[in-house]
Structure 1
């Protein structure tokens, strides 16, 4: 048997031309993909970024959202410097499936989940979670699952503190300005540990150096500028400490060896060029941009009665104050100057229109005072009470005079078999904003149980989970009975009138 062979002409075989996506410079490929990804994130959640900036300008702590990407960059550059060259093992079909799931999760959070928590929008900011899911899915579509997975520690860093989680941890530490800065410093310590953590020992050392230097800078800033804006407390100690620690470790590792260092070659992305992936990411961004956010709550800026805001409200004509309580835990939520007082007031005489047996009715008046206007929108009135297994009705608008408008609604407790009727209104007295909540209960006995003001973020988690699984039906009363509407309207109108009457010299 013979085998025919081609004649040897001495010519070298013609090399196969590299694919078009590999022919480009690696820097060009990376820049194009990053520009597409970041543009999609900005476009899809542009209303979110605007809302966060507005809240930060009003005094909220949400400016830290803009600090997290800087910490992620510090951590990611450390991971990128340590990773080995990638093998060209990629399954673009898998990348498209996993990335597409990430985009669908983002759309589901913003379109389906967010509307269920419209009242707690500024507290939870679920759209930030949707933005992170979109960024994760888009990165997989454009760069591949394997490269994105190498930065798993950075993704956990971004996921570590959602707005609700950040507030919860800071409140657990006391809720002051230093507490919010301390949480960010600890997060910066984790970023520093990731950046320099080539070994476990270096990681712990990086965490310690970053955290200690960050705490020192934050304490010094508060000592020199006690009223400094919270944005600077979140930015300077965190990013500064993480960047300085990473640079110091890098210089220490390269000490005396700079001449031996070879220029680092920028690796070509191994994930193939996929126009369809970019089209999917852009399409998802357009869909997300068209999904509206919950409307921003409008807090009345009507001027309140003259006089000091620290003085308890005077009871209206026909009512007397029988008890006064103060709650200091609100400082962790609404600022160190915030106060919450509860005044229990009882009618001097019975009224058959309010009780068939003409028993004197009792109401409580909770007055929350704070200099941080933004906190009133972040923590709605319902967050002051533990409302597990409670259904709430739609509010009615009540004119109380003097330009003050109240919202009246009912809360039905299925656990206690009680219905509370609430009348809520706001006014401003100097630099103090006050939220006044008047509550009645359908049990007219003297020992009737009123909802007690207490920290409720943790206790309301069960209601939040139930709302997620079963919808708003478990938290909404579709067929309310406003039994005490006349009582609270009369009381609220008299309460407002009495504050101005005292300012004009009427006896208390």
Structure 2
């Protein structure tokens, strides 16, 4: 009796799904709506941890809020293609759909499960989980709607891939890294969306691009002039979405002059892909797998109160040390905001110490002070990204207490090419509206002309290191057997440096 009941329940479930999916020949709008509900719910569920993290970062002032305008731009571009869509021939290979879509889902899972953990320090910089969500969206669309219909929107997929979080930062930094630059890059993206939406001909596509970009720049410049301190998220969203929407509506009204303004002026074509219950189940299961795969924990920037005084003043040299030189690096404004600065102070011990050097030679250290009003940028660009240290191996970090509730992090970087080991002590404090990250560096070459790593834009070299890690794993960039030879030197100097900032002079 139990077996009969179970069999009956299964048959009823299959019958319900069968009815929903076979409605495609009679009610195409209902079937398309059903598929879209499944797709949107699954994509939202699979990407929920990532979306939640992006919202937290945006609230802290990060530029990743632009991610939320991309679906709107994609919709603007896609509706233009859909309205131009001619009758689709019922030529379909469902096996190809399943193979291609299934592979895309596997790639999405692999990116989040295998690739993201390899780049924990660069997580907020690259946000590879966003790429995983996009690949999942592509694979799920192919499984539900078919490869041919999805392929018709290839320009929209390229639009979404055009600016990954890392790519967006690189383009904006190359344009100067200002608030206007971050908004301008998205205005250009809105121009691409407008061109795709109205591009029945090349002339119309060019007109759509020019109009979208012009309107977007006008809105962006006006907002910056009227509200110079407006949150970066509004500078990203309003000019971009406003330009794309205005141009799309304007071209639509012009094209429909004297005709019906109904958005759906012709019958909706049925989905050509054959129904497949297994495809729906596969998409749901893959979304659950992506949801349960964890993402790296959010980086916490210390908010310990710093010493009194102006953040623009150089650090006070501790007793027993003398300052031998200073340097200033202006390129950091493109990365950390226009109010940021990076200053280097070179300090040398007055007397030698046998514990630090067998010949009791006076040691030299450099102190790099990064000052920024945008705390979120410190999470995006870890301390290591300030230097071009490709082909180096980094040790695990040790906590070092420096007094006044300041806790530093000490680690070594070994350069196999230069046969040098640098030891770094990094700590952070807050001074008024600014956050300062101090990096104290020593080198195991105790000669006066020893090479210290120079702060410089390191995006290109870091990409090379990232590629090597992707191909060979984290072991090539990890020093599993470190020798913290300058632990005593940097602990003593760091403690004296912190104490000096609170001393009365």
* TM-score scaled by length of structure 2: 0.95
Cross-structure match for 1:346: 348
Cross-structure match for 1:103: 105
Distance 1:294 1:464 in 2: 17
Tell me by how many angstroms 1:89 deviates.
Answer: 1.3
Contact 1:114 1:121 in 2 (8 A): yes
1:321 aligns with 2:299: no
Which region of structure 1 is more displaced relative to structure 2, 74-83 or 37-46? 37-46
Tell me by how many angstroms 1:35 deviates.
Answer: 1.0
Cross-structure match for 1:402: 404
Distance 2:458 2:402 in 1: 29
Cross-structure match for 2:234: 232
1:103-142 to structure 2, matched below 5 A, reads 103-142=105-144
Distance 1:327 1:30 in 2: 56
1:91-490 to structure 2, matched below 5 A, reads 91-258=93-260, 263-490=265-492
Tell me by how many angstroms 1:258 deviates.
Answer: 3.4
Distance 1:311 1:463 in 2: 35
Tell me by how many angstroms 1:211 deviates.
Answer: 0.5
Tell me by how many angstroms 1:260 deviates.
Answer: 11
Distance 1:72 1:262 in 2: 19
* TM-score scaled by length of structure 1: 0.94
Distance 2:111 2:21 in 1: 38
The SS at the match of 1:434 is strand
Contiguous gaps of at least 5 residues in structure 2: 1-18
Tell me by how many angstroms 1:21 deviates.
Answer: 3.5
Which region of structure 1 is more displaced relative to structure 2, 244-253 or 401-410? 244-253
Tell me by how many angstroms 1:88 deviates.
Answer: 1.3
Equivalent of 1:34, from 27, 36, 40?
36
Distance 2:231 2:264 in 1: 44
Distance 1:435 1:263 in 2: 60
Contact 2:344 2:369 in 1 (8 A): yes
Contact 2:403 2:499 in 1 (8 A): yes
Tell me by how many angstroms 1:42 deviates.
Answer: 1.2
The SS at the match of 1:139 is helix
Contact 1:21 1:272 in 2 (8 A): no
Which region of structure 1 is more displaced relative to structure 2, 21-30 or 88-97? 21-30
The SS at the match of 1:445 is coil
The SS at the match of 1:479 is coil
The SS at the match of 1:398 is strand
Tell me by how many angstroms 1:415 deviates.
Answer: 1.6
Contact 1:324 1:342 in 2 (8 A): yes
The SS at the match of 1:345 is strand
- Deviation string 1:229-271 (CA, Å, 9 cap, x unpaired) is 1111111111111111111112222222339999321111111
Structure with higher helix content: 2
Which region of structure 1 is more displaced relative to structure 2, 463-472 or 240-249? 240-249
Tell me by how many angstroms 1:376 deviates.
Answer: 0.2
- Deviation string 1:331-359 (CA, Å, 9 cap, x unpaired) is 00000100100000000000010001100
Tell me by how many angstroms 1:111 deviates.
Answer: 0.5
1:491–1:266 CA distance, 2 compared to 1 (3 A): same
Distance 2:211 2:425 in 1: 52
Cross-structure match for 1:499: 501
1:427–1:259 CA distance, 2 compared to 1 (3 A): closer
Contact 1:170 1:179 in 2 (8 A): yes
The SS at the match of 1:460 is helix
Distance 2:403 2:261 in 1: 80
Tell me by how many angstroms 1:31 deviates.
Answer: 1.3
Distance 1:20 1:78 in 2: 28
Contact 1:21 1:273 in 2 (8 A): no
Contact 2:316 2:500 in 1 (8 A): yes
TM-align CA RMSD: 1.5
Q: How many residues align?
A: 487
